[in-house]
Amino acid sequence: MDKDTAEKLYEAYYMKVFSYVMTLAGNRSDAEEITQETFFRAISTEKAFRGESDSSTWLCAIARNIFIDEKRRSARQDGEPGEELPDTDKGIEEKLSDRDMSLQIHTIIHNLEEPYKEVFQLRIFGELSFKEIGSIFGKTETWARVTYHRARLKIKERMDENEI
């Protein structure tokens, strides 16, 4: 990739990729590092963008893979299994203003099983379309819609159980 193309790609998609990674990492420092690594890989890789999806979807897929690799690496070093990703919802957004309630809601989202948690976060925090979410997972737009709506139902169920 030539320098001008790389600069345009970076300028056009940095904030979108960074916002997406923030939803995954929940930590500004980690998000900045993963975002930088994402653009480095996208620009320096032998495998060029084939244009089969939107550029932002391609970059978010690279970022997601880097994030998962980092979580696995960290888990191996800490001796912990698994990879957890963060989450949230629109009907819930009004309730997020109350700090205690916000913590309870985020705890519910944190404990949500995959892929519901990640799909929900991508839609709410990453502001991605269902088509983009489906593409990241290698699934259809319909799969992303169904998964998101199931995630919302699970969150609302758990909120009702906890009387939030």
Q: How does pLDDT run across 77-124, given as a tens digit for each residue?
A: 666 544 444 444 445 545 444 566 667 777 888 888 888 888 888 888
Please give the residue range of the domain that contains residue 15.
3-78
Concatenating the DSSP letter of every residue in 47-58 gives S---SSS-HHHH
108 and 141 share a domain? Answer: yes
pLDDT interval class at 51 (50, 70, 90): low
Structure confidence by residue, pLDDT tens digits, 131-144: 888 888 998 988 98
Question: Which CATH number covers residue 20?
Answer: 1.10.1740.10
- Do 133 and 119 form a contact (C-beta atoms < 8 A)? yes
From 78, 102, 127, the end of a domain falls on: 78
Cβ contacts of 90 within 8 Å, gap of 6 or more = 124
Cβ contacts of 34 within 8 Å, gap of 6 or more = 21, 24, 25, 63, 66, 67, 70
- Pair of tokens at residue 153: 């139902």
From 78, 112, 145, the end of a domain falls on: 78
In the predicted model, is pLDDT for residue 127 greater than 70? yes
72 and 98 share a domain? Answer: no
Whether 83 is in a domain gets the answer no
Question: C-alpha angle with apex 49: 30 to 29, nearest 5 degrees?
Answer: 5
* pTM tops 0.75, yes or no: no
